[in-house]
Each structure stands twice: as structure tokens, then as C-alpha cells.
Structure 1
Amino acid sequence: MSTPSLSVLDLVPVRTDQSTADALAASLSLARVADGAGYRRYWVAEHHNMPAVAATNPPVLMGLIASATSRIRVGSGGVMLPNHAPLVVAEQVALLEAAFPGRVDLGIGRAPGTDPLKATPGAASAADVWLLGSSDYSARLAAAKGLPYVFAHHFSGQGTAEALETYRREFRPSEHLDAPRTFLTVNAVVADTEEEARRLALPNQLMMLALRTGQPLAPQLLVEEAEAVELPAQHRELVDKMAARWVVGDPGQAASALAGLAASYDVDEVMLHPVAGAYAGTDPRSAPTREATLRLAADWVLAGR
């Protein structure tokens, strides 16, 4: 199996021991790790009304992250266009591209049809535009428009192969792209041992469980807090089912899983969403286990250790 390139998706998680400022500081540190370790791109999401997530405004975060790094591409995964005036998004991204030429990606979700717009900031180059989705509709739209496409495998985990096959089969070349272009996103926790990785995955698994079952959303638990939660059997089964689609393990296991995913879905890039939790006593302005996930994955996948 060939070695895939690696990228990062960041929701800027907020733990029970963190303020929003702490979470942002931790993500900026994470971005520097990704920049130094050879990751291709660093994307931030847009989510609202979720106390466990501080990624609410991708363009603002993109500016912060681009300023804190030197070479990695920075983008949105993605900007949800129903929440924004398209002209404002175009101007924000054009300003970022002007400031950081050749380093900006614009991932957009659920894009409505709009009149052609012209953003006034004078960037000398254009940001790459990606269409994001988790359904066949988004795959068909990206194919029809001739845009790069990313399926939300990290969130859905189902229908990935079908969506990518639809996108590739129905793709029509455009002024933006002459052939299909896509990559895969996946939740990942990499640690020195499989046992530790599974412990570190639990806080995020419980957050996803709350989201899927309509429970009140709260900041992400610390590892020790998560381990004290007793789950009913039906919820334990749901957590296990979700976890089966994640990359959780020691470096060798993770490298094998990532290469397998790239081969299975015929992509040359895998975007990691590092979801490792934190232990009690961790500096609130840091996320050392998320940083370790990126470092270990890079050591074993990119450096071929």
C-alpha cells in the first residue's frame, strides 16, 4: 500500500477544565505541531450551540492558525453558507489568501445557488474551493460543478464508498478541476499503547453519544470523568459501533489502519481529526495527547518509521 499524505481537521474542543481562550491556545499549539510534522493542510470546522466545541467561525480561526504557522495549508471544513452572506465569505477568504498566498482552502457546506459575486480584496491568487457533505446529494453536486469533494467520514462513517463512487462516476471537468479530487476524514487517537489510546478516545465518544441520542451537550469530559460514567447496554453498543470506524491504537496499528483506509477508498490523502481526551491535571492551555496523536502518526506514516 502507498503512503498517504496526512492532514488535520480541528473542531477546537473545549474540555471541562478549559475556557474558550484555553481551547484556542491548545489548538494553536496543535497547529504548530502539524506544521512542523509535515501535515499537508489544517482545516477548522463550523459548529454552533455546542459547549464542547469552540470552532464557530472558520475565517477567524484560519487567520489565527495561518499566523501561527509557516507552511501548512489552512482551510475551513467547512463554512456553512446558509449562515453567511456569500459576499462576506468571499471577501474574508480573499483577504486570507492575500495575506497567506497559496496556503488557503475554502471548504463549504450546503451551498445554495447564488448570483456570481466578486470579492474586492486583491489577492494575487485564489483559494482552493472544496465542497463538503455527508450524502449522495453533495457528491452529485460536487461532480456536477466540477469541484473537489470531501465526504464527512469522521462524522457519518456510513455511505462513504457509495458517495465517493458517485462523485467519481458523475464528475464533469470544469474550469476549477479537470479530474475528481477527494480525500478522507477520520477520527483518530494514537498513543504509545492500544490500551491508552482506547482510554483517550472515551471522552469524545461520550460527546458523540450525547449528540446522537439528544442528550444535553456540555464541555468534553476529562479521561477520568469519562471513565466514571456508567452507560446502559444500548448506549455501550452504540459507542462501540462508532468506535469501530475510528483509528484508535498504537502507532503501528494506526499506520496500518490509515494506509488501509487510503487504499480502500482510493485516496492519496487522509485528514485526521485528533480526538484524544486529556487527563486530569493537564495544562488547560494545552492538548498534549492530541499533539501526540499527530506526532506519532507523522512518525509512522510520513517518516516511514
Structure 2
Amino acid sequence: MLPNHRPIVVAEQAKMLAALHPGRVDLGVGRSLGFTAPVRDALGVHDYGPDDFAGDVSALADLLADAGPVTAMPKGVPAPPLFVLATGSGLAVAARLGLPVVVGGPLVHGDLTPLADYRAAFRPRHPDDAPRVLVSVDVLVADAPARARDLVLPEAWAMVESRTTGAFPPLRPEPALRLTARQQEQVERHLDQAVHGTAGDVAEQLTAIVERTGADEVLAFSSTYDRAALRDSDAALATLHP
């Protein structure tokens, strides 16, 4: 999250990882200030707009390419692919700078106008650049739909708790908080936006998301408290055809 890290620091950390693991590092940057007021106070950042973000992303891209006003070390490491973790304003910044985007949540399931605007306004940095959209979805596969839903719930509960406390807790089979009506709505929204069910269910849902958004790639992530179930879910997901 660039409001909380200077571009030179991000560039050097990313380049070091890319040097240690060639071809295996992607760099995603966003502009979240933190979930809660105490977190924002601790970070000391309260006013950070789209133009600030655009300036930092542009500076970061130059540093990664060894084209900045100073040298980000290690020098000469191929720049890892840079993605903007985008909301509405983030999409506009990515289009202006000619960068690919990762989108999730409401942008995957809601109004697609921001994605259309991103593609229309895209300004390539290099001749071969084109708009590129990755959709990020929480995916859990199980033998039965109800079991898959139960596996998604711990992540939903943890997200709600983190927005209340400012700290992301361990995933648990039961909620740590007594949920308010508003928090329960947030949990249900998370469930609606996640992809879960049997392997056939998940294949259909992912296909529908790709067809609806025109995504170039799906970034699937899975998280739950049951490690064996998580391993089985990932294995099942890996067998699905695009």
C-alpha cells in the first residue's frame, strides 16, 4: 500500500525478491490508508488522493526499470510485473499510466462501467502494452455446497473483525465476535462475492465471471482454518479447465 511505503523502499524490496526468485515475483500496489482510524493515526497518513497515488506509482515504475533519479538496488534486475490493485480511482490511474489491474469484490460482481472506462482510457507505456484485467476471487471447493460455504465463512468473519479492530485475526471455525446486523450484512456480502461449491459449481461460476468481465486472468486465493480442506480445495481447483 503506497501511502505507507516510499517508492524507493518498495522498489528495492521487490527487486531483491526478484533477484532471489527470478520470474516468480509480481508486484501489486494499492492506495488503502488502513481499515481503522487508529491504524491511520499510527501510520501518519490521512490525506492521499489519486494524484498522489499516480505520482508514487510512476516513480516506482521508473525505479524498478533503473530509470529513476536514484538507483534502486540491486541494479540490473529485470523489473517484476507491476499491477495496480484497483478500485474506481485506481483504475483511472492505471489507465493513465498504462498498467494492468487486479480487481475484486464489487468491481467483479457489480457495475462494469469502471472496467470499460479503464480499457477505453488506457495509454500504453510501451508499443506492445494493452489493457489487462485480472479478477481476484476467494475460491473454496468441497464435496458439497454447504461444506464449501462453511469453509468460506472464517475468512468473512476475520475480514469483519479486522475492520473493527485493525488487526487481521487467525481464522477460526466460529466467529470471535458477536456480530451486529451490519457486520452480518458484511459477512453475507463476502459470501456472495466468493466462489464456492463443488468443483462443477466453481467451474461454472469462474466461467461466468470471466465472460462477464472479459478478464485476461483469474487470481484465485483460498483461505480457511482447516488446512486439509484447504489443500483438497486447491488440488480440486488445479484440475479445472479454464
Same fold at TM > 0.5: yes
Q: Which runs of 5+ in 1 are unaligned?
A: 1-79, 279-286
Match of 1:113 among 41, 55, 61: 55
Q: Which residue in 2 is equivalent to 1:295? A: 235
Is 1:165 paired with 2:86? Answer: no
Check conservation: 1:185, 1:272, Cα contact below 8 A. yes
- 1:124-273 matches, cutoff 5 A: 124-134=77-87, 136-151=88-103, 153-154=104-105, 159=110, 161-175=112-126, 178-212=129-163, 214=164, 217=167, 219-223=169-173, 225-226=174-175, 231=179, 235-273=183-221
Distance 1:172 1:192, change over 3 A: same
Q: Which runs of 5+ in 2 are unaligned?
A: 32-52, 60-67
Check conservation: 2:30, 2:85, Cα contact below 8 A. yes
Is 1:96 paired with 2:44? Answer: no
The structure whose residues are more often helix, as a share, is 2
- Looking at structure 2, the residues matched to 241 and 176 of structure 1 have their Cα atoms a distance apart, in angstroms, of 40
- Looking at structure 2, the residues matched to 204 and 97 of structure 1 have their Cα atoms a distance apart, in angstroms, of 29
- Looking at structure 2, the residues matched to 87 and 181 of structure 1 have their Cα atoms a distance apart, in angstroms, of 25
Give the number of aligned pairs: 210
The structure whose residues are more often strand, as a share, is 1
Describe the SS at the equivalent of 1:119.
coil
Check conservation: 1:95, 1:123, Cα contact below 8 A. no
Check conservation: 1:82, 1:112, Cα contact below 8 A. no
Q: Which amino acid aligns with 1:261?
A: I
Check conservation: 1:197, 1:276, Cα contact below 8 A. no
Q: CA deviation at 1:231?
A: 4.7
Distance 1:160 1:87, change over 3 A: farther
Aligned-pair RMSD on alpha carbons?
2.7
Describe the SS at the equivalent of 1:113.
helix
- The TM-score with structure 1 as length reference comes to 0.61
Q: CA deviation at 1:229?
A: 7.2
Describe the SS at the equivalent of 1:270.
strand
Q: Report which structure shows greater RCO (CA 8 Å, sep ≥6).
A: 1
- Looking at structure 1, the residues matched to 54 and 20 of structure 2 have their Cα atoms a distance apart, in angstroms, of 28
Distance 1:194 1:124, change over 3 A: same
Describe the SS at the equivalent of 1:204.
helix
- Looking at structure 2, the residues matched to 124 and 218 of structure 1 have their Cα atoms a distance apart, in angstroms, of 33
Describe the SS at the equivalent of 1:150.
strand
Sequence identity (%): 34
Q: Which amino acid aligns with 2:145?
A: E
Q: Which amino acid aligns with 1:222?
A: R
Check conservation: 1:154, 1:273, Cα contact below 8 A. no
Check conservation: 1:131, 1:150, Cα contact below 8 A. yes
Q: CA deviation at 1:221?
A: 4.3
- Looking at structure 1, the residues matched to 184 and 110 of structure 2 have their Cα atoms a distance apart, in angstroms, of 23
Check conservation: 2:15, 2:77, Cα contact below 8 A. no
